[in-house]
Structure 1
Amino acid sequence: MRNLLHLERLREGRILLAFSGGVDSTTLFHLLLENKIAFDIAHVNYHTRPSSDEEALSAQNLAQRHNLHCYNHSCRLSGTNFEHHAREERYRFFEYLMGKYHYTYLLTAHQLNDRVEWMFMQLTRGAGLPEMLGIRSLDHRGEITILRPLLQHSREEIEGYLEQHNVNAFIDESNYDERYTRNRFRHRFSTPLMHEHADAIRRSFAYLEEDSDLLIDEIHFEECEGFFWGNNSDNLRSTIYAIDRVLKSIGILMSSHEKEELKKEKSAIISRQYFVIIDEAYTFIAPYHRDVIMDKGFREECRRLRIEPKLRGFLYGSPKAYAIIRRLKGSLTLPLSD
């Protein structure tokens, strides 16, 4: 159980651990100590349970006992889709810390059961191999590089480690609430399956990840003022997968219908909020602005540069993004706003 993925990276980098105080992150905390990895922790208190304040204080005390720094963030979220808003809130916090204090890697304590649960959920939604793999041991979210050192260990192994070392962790009561989709898959499918076939499932994910790396090209997107652009791959599947990841990073989920439209038409309006076009050499993703009144000179230059009309409303209000797309399309004149 002591072995962690990406151990060499962990020893070389400056590490920030996303720490909830639950079973998984507590185990990772102690395994990092065992492996003599230098790290600090970041804890987010959403105030959703009676024990929330106790968990935040416990994280602070645990860090102090081991001479680590603990960054605490307190917030109260309202509205629907709490899980999505909570994820966005904590990653904004993590990104701020990593930029300000120059951490190399963010560590999260996802483990093998999480990966199985994700795969089952994707199967029921209609997904390809890269989407089903979902959680990877080395990943990126914007400018953050994420490592998941526990991804090869099962929940059973992790709970056994805590019991063996007599380490306490907080239990989130909501994990037993089957109103949450993930919990239904956990209790009805992944837990029994992992109990009997953990070793085979671990090997299968390693093979699937190798296969996915061969099938999908890595595409890097740049961003400016909410405008994203990246080189197209010769493999359309890779391009659409990269688009999907960019949109997910800003909280937009593409439906199966939108993905099929994008595949056929090479452009689509996503969730009525973003317009995506797979152009000749580049893919562009921009907020979708309707009914924008534009001056004649701007419209004429967009026509000459063959800029898709559905992009123009946003570009008209964003000179920086407009300059980028003009450069990418080969224009040598200065933007009209200059």
Structure 2
Amino acid sequence: MLHHISKLPQDSVFLLGFSGGVDSSALFFLLLECGVEFDLAIVDYGMREESRLEVAYAQELAQTYDKKIYHLRAPRIGSNFEANARKIRYEFFGELIAKNAYRGLLLAHQLNDRIEWLLMQFARGAGLNTLLGFGFCERVMGFDVFRPLLDVSKGELYRFCMERGIRFFEDRSNQDERFVRNRYRMIASFLMQSSCGIKQSLKYLEKEKQILYPKFEIGKLGEVRRFARAREYQSLYILDLECKKLGYVLSAKQKKEIMRCCFSCEIHTLIIESNAHYIFVTPKIECVMSREYRNLCRIHQIPHRLRPVFYPLWCSQISIEEIGKFCNHPISN
């Protein structure tokens, strides 16, 4: 089984996002075999009768193997379940990681999940960066997320658990064809008959992605993030990553709106702005600005949408010249 647990940062303690399913149960025991230090976190959304048993199983594993366990009973989610559930669990994980100084979050996403995601995005209309989706490591909401099973098929995880007598739970809702996501899940399972070829194709695509979407320097002043303008598709890719770090996942519709507005708009609670040199993204704030500050912003060409965000910094003795340089001084090659 070609997992990437050995690539995890050494001498670190992690938080494992656990569900009780075959993926996270297999990852639990693989981590034990590889000597990785970790604790458990599980979220109960109260949507299924089995969730109570899954929490009990997680608690049993924690006690048996001397792990800490954190359990959240999520509030009722009325609509847009997947997006709201993701927000709840990532906020929960983020608080635990910050409070307990964990190195990052471990998730059990595997090869079938990658193909399922690729098919869903392909049907919606997406570029290479979106089709490939998540990688081994990415930064989300201020903490690192590691996925060491991305090259392991679900079938391999089933075999691993069955051979070792590892208990796991099946979510029966995953077989309900009324849910669109499950239709893609079934197609992904069928495609896994050619898993070796799929793995190789993904490796080729990842290499091409690195050429098309090179790394960019990210600057920060207060809560404002900036990066140098590039080709439109590259700029949108970097912006999407930075929005994820701020806890927000852009939809396809929002991405189209951002491009239509030439990277100058407000999305949800985020401000997106641009000028000749940079594209900026920052959480939105509202404040009453002094006349003196507004005049200085005009003189130093501070982008209009960013002025309220920089105002508290200016009030705390950061000069308007420094703010202006951050906004307008191009990065030297």
TM-score (norm: length of structure 1)? 0.85
Rounded to whole Å, the distance in 1 between the matches of 2:46 and 2:319 is 43
Gaps (5+ residues) in structure 1?
332-338
Q: Which amino acid aligns with 1:191?
A: S
Number of the residue aligned with 2:331: none
Rounded to whole Å, the distance in 1 between the matches of 2:271 and 2:217 is 18
User: Is the contact between residue 274 and residue 286 of structure 1 (CA under 8 Å) also seen in structure 2?
Assistant: yes
Aligned-pair CA distance for 1:203:
0.9
Aligned-pair CA distance for 1:136:
0.7
Q: Does 1:205 align with 2:202?
A: yes
SS in 1 for 2:282: strand
Rounded to whole Å, the distance in 1 between the matches of 2:58 and 2:220 is 35
SS in 2 for 1:267: coil
Q: Which amino acid aligns with 1:212?
A: K
Identify which of 277, 296, 299 aligns with 2:294: 299
Bigger Cα displacement from structure 2, 306-315 vs 110-119: 306-315
Aligned-pair CA distance for 1:299:
2.3
Q: Which amino acid aligns with 1:238?
A: Q
Q: Which amino acid aligns with 2:306?
A: L
Identify which of 202, 213, 218 aligns with 2:215: 218
User: Is the contact between residue 229 and residue 279 of structure 2 (CA under 8 Å) also seen in structure 1?
Assistant: no
Aligned-pair CA distance for 1:216:
0.9
User: Is the contact between residue 229 and residue 282 of structure 1 (CA under 8 Å) also seen in structure 2?
Assistant: no
Q: Does 1:230 align with 2:226?
A: yes
SS in 2 for 1:44: strand
Aligned-pair CA distance for 1:260:
4.7
Q: Does 1:251 align with 2:248?
A: yes
User: Is the contact between residue 219 and residue 233 of structure 1 (CA under 8 Å) also seen in structure 2?
Assistant: no
Q: CA, structure 1 residues 241+164, in 2 after alignment: closer, same or farther (shift >3 Å)?
A: same
Q: Does 1:268 align with 2:264?
A: yes
User: Is the contact between residue 59 and residue 69 of structure 2 (CA under 8 Å) also seen in structure 1?
Assistant: yes
Q: Which amino acid aligns with 1:300?
A: N
Q: Which amino acid aligns with 2:101?
A: H
User: Is the contact between residue 24 and residue 110 of structure 1 (CA under 8 Å) also seen in structure 2?
Assistant: yes
Aligned-pair CA distance for 1:150:
0.8
Identify which of 269, 274, 278 aligns with 1:278: 274
Q: Does 1:129 align with 2:123?
A: no
User: Is the contact between residue 112 and residue 154 of structure 1 (CA under 8 Å) also seen in structure 2?
Assistant: yes
Number of the residue aligned with 1:329: 324
Rounded to whole Å, the distance in 1 between the matches of 2:26 and 2:171 is 15
Q: Which amino acid aligns with 2:305?
A: K
User: Is the contact between residue 267 and residue 275 of structure 1 (CA under 8 Å) also seen in structure 2?
Assistant: no
Rounded to whole Å, the distance in 1 between the matches of 2:191 and 2:89 is 31
RMSD: 2.8
Q: CA, structure 1 residues 259+70, in 2 after alignment: closer, same or farther (shift >3 Å)?
A: closer
| Cα offsets for 1:168-202 (capped at 9, x unmatched) | 21112221233333212112x211111x2111001
Q: Does 1:167 align with 2:163?
A: no
User: Is the contact between residue 22 and residue 157 of structure 2 (CA under 8 Å) also seen in structure 1?
Assistant: yes
SS in 2 for 1:158: helix
Rounded to whole Å, the distance in 2 between the matches of 1:198 and 1:321 is 56
Aligned-pair CA distance for 1:75:
2.1
SS in 1 for 2:126: coil
Q: Does 1:309 align with 2:304?
A: yes
Q: Percent identity between the aligned chains?
A: 33
Count of residues in Structure 1 that have an aligned counterpart in Structure 2: 325
Rounded to whole Å, the distance in 1 between the matches of 2:319 and 2:140 is 22
TM-score (norm: length of structure 2)? 0.86
Q: Does 1:182 align with 2:178?
A: no
User: Is the contact between residue 252 and residue 271 of structure 1 (CA under 8 Å) also seen in structure 2?
Assistant: no
Aligned-pair CA distance for 1:287:
4.7
Number of the residue aligned with 1:334: none
Q: Which amino acid aligns with 1:217?
A: P
Aligned-pair CA distance for 1:105:
2.8
Q: Does 1:241 align with 2:247?
A: no
Rounded to whole Å, the distance in 2 between the matches of 1:23 and 1:56 is 14
User: Is the contact between residue 231 and residue 282 of structure 1 (CA under 8 Å) also seen in structure 2?
Assistant: yes
Rounded to whole Å, the distance in 1 between the matches of 2:128 and 2:214 is 13
Number of the residue aligned with 2:191: 193
Number of the residue aligned with 2:39: 40
Rounded to whole Å, the distance in 2 between the matches of 1:113 and 1:14 is 27
Gaps (5+ residues) in structure 2?
327-333
Aligned-pair CA distance for 1:261:
5.4
Q: CA, structure 1 residues 124+228, in 2 after alignment: closer, same or farther (shift >3 Å)?
A: farther
Q: Which amino acid aligns with 2:195?
A: A
Bigger Cα displacement from structure 2, 276-285 vs 51-60: 276-285
Q: CA, structure 1 residues 41+120, in 2 after alignment: closer, same or farther (shift >3 Å)?
A: same
Q: Which amino acid aligns with 1:16?
A: L
| Cα offsets for 1:259-290 (capped at 9, x unmatched) | 45544653232446433123233322235578
Aligned-pair CA distance for 1:324:
8.6
Q: Which amino acid aligns with 1:305?
A: H
